[in-house]
Amino acid sequence: MNKSDAIADNITEQDLVERLKNGQQWAFNNLVKTYQDRLLKIAYGITLDREDSLEVVQDVFISVFKNIQTFRQDASLATWLRKITINQCLNWKRKWKRRFKWSHDVIESENDKQLFKENKKNNDPEMLFREKQFEKNLMNAIKTLPEKIRLVLVLNAFEGLSYDEIAKTLNIKKGTVSSRLHFARKSLVELLEINN
């Protein structure tokens, strides 16, 4: 999340935090309104499940409201929320790991190589179909990535964080961020090309 995070209803982050600490329901609604889209996206990137990500983010907001007194404000509220979301997602996944396995659809053969080049808005029905197919194949490939690799990709692709910021968030080295991102991309390209 960027420094330019705009909080709904034009109040400052400091003000929002103070109001949350006073237990104001209005502040809670404002918090949800401001951050839900970003947190839901991060959660979806990690869980790869719409319902799970919704549950996770709801729990994040409840946890934040209950524990706001512990927020020391040495980082931004957005950073704190992001970290809680990541932890909540990882715990969620661990919780369900034994019961849940990804269902792998058969990746249909499509010209993904070409689609890499032509990934632009196009109204041609055939092109739209191929784009959808590429998206489906990509998502199937992303499901096969190890969680720690996908997590780095999510923070890079969704949040636009620098390698330094990702390293700090996940408590890993900058070089590890670089190698994990490269591994993710290389693996995805290989998987997509295999199915071409």
Partner 1 sequence: MKKTCDNYAPEDMSRFVDNELPPNLHREFAQHLIHCPSCSRVVEQYRSITSVFSGHADQEVLKIDGIKLKQKLEKSLQNSEKTTFGNVFGLLGKNIYLKLASITAILMISLFAFQGSLFGPSGPSAIVKSVNTDFTSVMIIETQKEKHTIIWFSET
Instruction: Name the residues that contact partner 1, by CB under 8 A.
Output: 25, 28-29, 32, 36-37, 40-41, 44-45, 50-51, 53-54, 57-58, 61-62, 65-66, 115-117, 119, 134-135, 138-139, 142, 153, 156-158, 162-163, 178-179, 181-182, 185-186, 188-189
Closest approach, Cβ 94 to partner 1, in A, equals: 21
Q: Name which of 80 and 163 has its Cβ closer to partner 1.
A: 163
Report which of 107, 112, 113 is spatially closest to residue 140, judged by C-alpha positions.
Answer: 107
Closest approach, Cβ 195 to partner 1, in A, equals: 14
Report which of 153, 9, 20 is spatially closest to residue 77, judged by C-alpha positions.
Answer: 20
Q: Name which of 8 and 98 has its Cβ closer to partner 1.
A: 8
Structural tokens at position 187:
């693996």
How far, in Å, CA of 123 to CA of 185, rounded? 28
Rounded to 10 degrees, what is the CA torsion of 192, 187, 88, 43?
-30
Residue 11 φ then ψ, to 5°: -115, 155
Q: Name which of 148 and 185 has its Cβ closer to partner 1.
A: 185
